[in-house]
Chain A
Amino acid sequence: QKEVEQNSGPLSVPEGAIASLNCTYSDRGSQSFFWYRQYSGKSPELIMSIYSNGDKEDGRFTAQLNKASQYVSLLIRDSQPSDSATYLCAVKGAGGTSYGKLTFGQGTILTVHP
């Protein structure tokens, strides 16, 4: 079982719609969760971090965390073609050999079409 799992997609949404990206993780003790955006040929760019259960909003982005279900999601409202990219979920290890280490999911490819 992979430590951090994402649907690889591709996820295709029309411009102006809400894009919903999902991620599950296996380390129940994890406390820190991150979403990165990666454009083709570029490096990962941090867009959201979340540490507590519930929602965290930043502009058009909302991160949602449910530690009981070991589930993290990212919502992008009013999606724009410029949001087309690969979105990487990352989870920081809480203990043992994973302490302080960031584990990435395989990424979800998002395409926003006009």
Chain B
Amino acid sequence: DAGVIQSPRHEVTEMGQEVTLRCKPISGHNSLFWYRQTMMRGLELLIYFNNNVPIDDSGMPEDRFSAKMPNASFSTLKIQPSEPRDSAVYFCASSRTRFDEQFFGPGTRLTVL
């Protein structure tokens, strides 16, 4: 069975550029989560969706960040404009329901120069 798929795996961009991260959850999973991991702050939840609807975006750091889930098999996390402090590993995870175990994708390592 295919796990959570994320693209790109690595992204290097310059400050001020727009960055779009993509995620395909496990088929049949109704909840999708976006996390950010840094050495300083650990693993933080940014936003999560249930049945394609954003439920909690309180972890989104600022208006430069936005996330969408247009259908059950695709989600995007966009940063515009990007800043060096956005450099981190961004993980997408999915679960059958919001109360079940979450399974993580391989992550996108973002570097903003």
Contact = CB atoms under 8 A, between A and B. Distances in A.
Given A97-B58, A100-B55, A101-B56, A46 B107 contact: no
Contacts of B55: 100
Given A101-B48, A101-B56, A44 B43 contact: yes
Contacts of A44: 43, 91, 104
A46 B42 contact: no
Contacts, number: 42
B102 A43 contact: no
A39 B43 CA distance: 14
Interface residues of B, number: 21
Measured as residues with beta carbon below 8 angstroms from the partner, the interface class of chain A is 20 to 34
Contacts of B98: 100
Interface of A: 32, 34, 36, 42-46, 49, 88, 92, 97, 100-107
21 contacts: A34-B101, A34-B102, A43-B104, A43-B105, A43-B107, A44-B43, A44-B104, A46-B102, A49-B101, A88-B43, A97-B56, A97-B58, A100-B31, A100-B56, A100-B98, A101-B45, A101-B56, A102-B45, A102-B102, A104-B43, A105-B42
Interface of B: 31, 33, 42-45, 48, 50, 55-56, 58, 91, 98-99, 101-107
Given A32-B99, A104-B42, A105-B42, 6 more contacts: A43-B104, A43-B105, A88-B43, A97-B56, A100-B55, A101-B45
